[in-house]
Structure formats: structure tokens, C-alpha cells
Amino acid sequence: MSDKTGAVTPENTTSALSHLAFCALAALGLARQDGVAGTPYAENLFLIRWH
């Protein structure tokens, strides 16, 4: 995130959500490689439990 002031703006919100989505997809990709999330149901469960 480029703005470190903590102001709640649409740009900051979008940036934070984009970063969260990227991290979730990266974690899911690693889970797939490890064989943890091999089915759509397992992927959904992984993402629900991921934090």
C-alpha cells in the first residue's frame, strides 16, 4: 500500500483488498502444490480457514 497515513479512502481499501486476495491466492497455490487442496471443496475449505 502506498499511502501509510491510515486514511480510509477508496484507493486504500482497494489496495488492501487486492493485497489480501493476492496473499490468499498465493497460499492456495502452495496448498495445491502440497496436496492439501486437491478438489474445489478442499480449496473452498482451505480459503475459509486461511488467516
Q: What is the pLDDT of residues 1-51, one digit of tens each?
A: 455 667 889 999 999 999 999 999 999 999 999 999 999 999 999 999 998
CA distance 19 to 37: 21
Nine-digit cell string for 27: 497460499
Q: Which of 16, 21, 18 is nearest to 6 (CA)?
A: 16
Looking at residue 2, what is its pLDDT? 55
Looking at residue 6, what is its pLDDT? 73
CA distance 26 to 3: 24
Looking at residue 7, what is its pLDDT? 84
